[in-house]
Chains A and B, each alone.
Chain A
Amino acid sequence: MKKVNIEIDSKVQELEVRDSELLIETLRDRLGLMGTKYSCLEGDCGVCTVLIGGRNVLSCLILSADCDGEKITTIEGLAKNGEPHQLQKSFIEKGAIQCGFCTPGMILAAHSLLDKDPDPEDEEIARALDGNLCRCTGYVKIIDAVRDASQKINRSTKS
């Protein structure tokens, strides 16, 4: 067991976690943050993606014990004051969500990309999302949505 302080979706959580406890378990089983899904628990699908310090990581490959002092954002922490993030809006408007099981991880992976590169080319978007599987959409509308979000964010920061 280890005592850790982790900031999750802007709330600091004081937790006592098992040495072998995965971050995905802490989020879902301990904290009831069910927005983060998983699909393989082997690091192969990207479904369990969360942000640690803004970077996308696979919560099925990270031990909660190693997250002491980290700032974690899950899909549930992305909206600000009830207003969805532009990526969430674009995913909704562009038809990038079918079953929605990949969506939380996909949006967070895209978030991490736009943090580093606010104006990515389509190929860069595809490359950034390559670790995130989606079986429903064929990725076409997902890439559309990320492009749309980046354009809208850029426009609003310029104006």
Chain B
Amino acid sequence: MIKTKTTSPVGKSVPRIDAREKAAGEAKFVFDMKLPGMLIGKMLRSPHAHARIISIDTSKAEKLPGVKAVITAEDTPKIKFGSNEYFFPYTVDQLPLESDKARYIGDEIAAVAAVDEETAEKALSLIDVKYEVLPAVFDPVSAMKPGAPQIQGAMNNIGVMLPMQFGDADKALKESDYVREDIFHLQSAAHCALEPHVSLGQYEVSTDRITLWTSTQAPFKVREAMAKTLKMDAADIRVIKLNVGGGFGGKLEMFPMDFSACLLSKKSGGFPVKFTCTRQEEFSFTRRKHPMTYKLRSGVKRDGTLMAVTGEVIADGGAYCSYGPTVIAAAILRIFMVYKIVNFRVIGFRVYTNNPICGAIRGFGGVQSGFAVESHMDMLARGIGMDPVEFRLKNATDPNMETVNKLVISSNGLKDCIRRAAEACGWKDKFGKAKSAGDMARGIGIGVAADVMGSKMYKAHESAGSIIKVEEDGSVYLFTGAADTGQGSDTAMAQIAAQELGVAYERIRIKAADTEITPFDTGSFASRVTFISGNATKNAANDAKQQILNIVARELKLDAGALDMRDEQVVKAADGAFVMSFDQAVGLCYSFNYGHLIIGRGNYNPKTTPVDFRTGYGNISGSYGFEAQVAEVEVNKKTGDVKILKMYDVHDIGYPINPDSVHGQIEGSIVMGIGYTLYEDLRFSEGRVVNPSFSKYRIPRSVGIPPIESIFVETKDPQGPFGAKGMGEASLLPTAAAIANAIHDAIGVRITDLPITPQKVLEALKEKKAV
């Protein structure tokens, strides 16, 4: 029963559509699912970083009472999968279960399904794998050297090489008044979604079909990879997402456990099989952030004009490619969204090593480049004695421009963001006036960033679809393929549908992300959902609305174009005069005379041009979002501790569909960014994660969270649904640089190596004194 009615919900902070059930503990995650006869699945993983697989003997495990199925590569069609198959087909390099070689500690070799966890674990210990251990390599620079162990057969272990060149960088450097070169190191990090990866697969013997429930950000992508690797028709595979306990880029692909859950179910004769990652598996064997080294050499004119950016990016990719190509591309190409650069030459290498696999994580390489580029820009500005805010304003991109690599930027509030951030924090009074009191020094720093809203990664198109059905009783159901993983997209979709249809938000019931029921959607990544799925939903609602208005117009002998729907009423478009209630209008559609079922359809494919990754030209996104962020810090010169006093975030989000939700995304991003800047560090020894637990890998906790002032710049994007742009990643990108720049302002030292630990601060201070 609907108790409250929120009409015209777009722009209002309505409570999340799923908040009640989540607060009550009733919301179901795949993590909570249990089916009759369900078996527990477990993965046998390579204990070696690099080894040839000589033989696998599963006979003892199979005989263990309680074991229902064991699979190895021999049970599979041995078809490889990858995540960037459309643009980078050569990076499709991983088998669901490896057959010849293990390439990292954790590589999936075999899987078992048993009646309980204990039996499954025991079965794993009974599988006898003979390995020939091979020499391994753990850092990308060594891996690129001649004679290094060859991991995938790629030349010099370079999985992806992206050279991007525009204009004449050498000439521009020569014409520059000031040139500097800086090197930045960025560490690996873990997603730490609190719901682990979970997959529950069920094979139906009579129909030869599979249903997979999985905690994923991209159910349609998983289905596609499953169909390919299992050599089945996609029509025979149904992938269902329930509530997802966080993703952050870590749940964007099919995982061997998805594949194995289904194949084990088949081999067991149709018993459902469930895999749940332990926290240690999450840290060690899923995906992680690419550690990167940036070498940047750039030049500026005395007046602050950015003349050229050149450099090299080297990323440790681990044993397989995953989303590596897009990560590298995003790490390089994002700079054009924020700075007007004409002369550019940067080459990116993503290198195979025998470390665990790196993949997508919130920001797709943008966090790494955010730190490197935004620190470097600050250093350039200081080098010519220019205020970093002025420097950024001078070089920032404008609305309605095409960049040198052919990004088409329409609405662009970047300069506004920078100005308003500077105003909000009192930049003029604070910057360069570092206040010291005893051992404590305060400073302020800025960084800027941009968001894409979508990026074609695994298909030629990036369409999303939506269906809206309005039932006879006036209930409204929205079917969307968009995958809410906690960011609130179901709520945003419901708000958009209600607004366009002119009904109360509370009327909308949403069915999302089930490949058999809902329209296609590529998934939750690249901050695309509000923009792309939101447009699809708006179109579907508009279609339903037109159907209703047509019938009302026929009945009243009016022109349908003269009518509109808002606030649960059909009204005259011209003056808003009441015509009939929504319920009456729906009743009319379903009446004796019309008998019209209202089913609205909508889809949306953003206007982009494919990026040619050999040249770097192309327009990756239908629109772009922008932001500026300021950090105020206090550094303890005696202990090296950095305390964040306050963060300011000014964000061009087009228009906020749900302001509280948008602030919530920004706050979550910034806090994640603070963690990465100051302490998050996934560490390795010979390919093994040495801190795979929340006690050893620290993520931000509630104590010490600084105040965050989040401000919107509303540019009302012409393409966005109700002017909205996508968001959710950009606020994480400039955080590290804003903090590092603030530390420099406070104590005059520059940290170029994340995380910024107290020890690094002290060392830098010592070095400065020595000079």
Contact = CB atoms under 8 A, between A and B. Distances in A.
Interface in B408-425: none
A83 B669 CA distance: 33
Contact of A126 (B15, B18, B486, B702): B702
Interface in A90-135: 91-95, 97-104, 107, 123, 125-127, 129-135
B23 A97 contact: yes
Contact of B28 (A34, A76, A131, A136): A34
B750 interface: no
B590 interface: no
Contacts of A55: none
A84 interface: yes
Interface in B237-262: 243-246, 248
Interface stretch (A64-72, A138-146, A150-158): A138-146
Interface in B174-214: 191-196
Interface string B19-36: 110111111110110000
B699 to A, nearest CB: 6
B664 interface: yes
A97 B28 CA distance: 15
B120 to A, nearest CB: 15
Interface string B693-715: 11100011111110010000000
Given A39-B279, A40-B279, A132 B702 contact: yes
Contacts of B701: 130-131, 133, 139
Contacts of A139: 667, 671, 700-702, 705
B661 interface: yes
Contacts of B279: 39-42, 44-45
Given A130-B703, A138-B667, A141-B664, A104 B25 contact: yes
Contact of B243 (A45, A100, A132, A138): A100
- Most B-side CB within 10 Å, residue of A39, A134, A141: A39
B663 interface: yes
B694 A133 contact: yes
Nearest to B666: A138
Nearest to A98: B486
A103 B18 CA distance: 12
B705 A99 contact: no
Most chain B Cβ neighbours within 10 Å, of A47, A91, A100, A107: A100
A130 B702 contact: yes
A40 B20 CA distance: 25
A126 B246 CA distance: 22
B19 A92 contact: yes
B668 interface: yes
A75 interface: yes
A125 B245 CA distance: 24
A137 B704 CA distance: 14
Contact of B195 (A37, A92, A132): A37
Given A41-B278, A101-B29, A92 B245 contact: no
Contacts of B31: 37, 101
Nearest to B27: A100
Interface in B744-767: none
Interface in A11-66: 28, 34-37, 39-42, 44-45, 47
Interface string B441-482: 000000000000000000000000000000000000000000
Contact of B668 (A40, A92, A131, A138): A138
A95 B246 contact: no
Contacts of A42: 279, 693-695
B487 interface: yes
Contacts of A132: 702
Contacts of A99: 193-195, 243-246, 485-486
B510 interface: no
Given A40-B694, A41-B279, A93 B15 contact: yes
Given A34-B28, A95-B16, A99-B243, A138 B700 contact: yes
A68 to B, nearest CB: 24
A135 B488 contact: no
Contact of B193 (A74, A84, A135): A135
B702 A74 contact: no
Contact of A97 (B16, B244, B703): B16
A92 B702 contact: no
Given A39-B195, A39-B196, A142 B23 contact: no
Nearest to B704: A126
Given A98-B664, A100-B22, A37 B705 contact: no
Contacts of A76: 24-26
B236 interface: no
A75 B25 contact: yes
Contacts of A125: 702
B670 interface: yes
Given A42-B693, A126-B703, A140 B667 contact: yes
Contacts of B695: 42, 44
Contacts of A103: 22-23, 25
A101 to B, nearest CB: 3
A62 to B, nearest CB: 18
A45 B194 contact: yes
Contacts of B312: none
A34 B20 CA distance: 16
Contact of A133 (B18, B23, B194, B248): B194
A79 B485 CA distance: 26
B605 interface: no
A142 B18 CA distance: 16
Contact of B194 (A84, A129, A134): A134
B639 interface: no
Contacts of B663: 95, 141
B216 to A, nearest CB: 13
Contacts of A98: 246, 486-488, 664, 668
B567 interface: no
A98 B665 CA distance: 9
Identify the interface centre among A76, A132, A137: most chain B CB within 10 Å of its CB.
A137
A103 to B, nearest CB: 5
Interface string B633-677: 000000000000000000000000000110110011111100000
A138 B732 CA distance: 12
Nearest to A102: B194
A138 B671 contact: yes
A61 to B, nearest CB: 13
A40 B693 contact: yes
A109 to B, nearest CB: 10
A133 to B, nearest CB: 6
B24 A100 contact: no
Given A125-B702, A130-B701, 13 more contacts: A42-B694, A42-B695, A84-B20, A95-B661, A98-B668, A100-B245, A101-B29, A133-B694, A133-B699, A133-B701, A138-B670, A138-B671, A141-B667
7 contacts: A37-B29, A42-B694, A78-B24, A88-B23, A101-B31, A133-B701, A135-B668
The 10 tightest CB contacts between A and B, nearest first, are: A35-B25, A99-B486, A100-B22, A101-B245, A138-B671, A75-B25, A44-B694, A138-B667, A95-B660, A34-B32
Interface of B: 13, 15-16, 18-20, 22-29, 31-32, 191-196, 243-246, 248, 278-279, 485-488, 660-661, 663-664, 667-672, 693-695, 699-705, 708
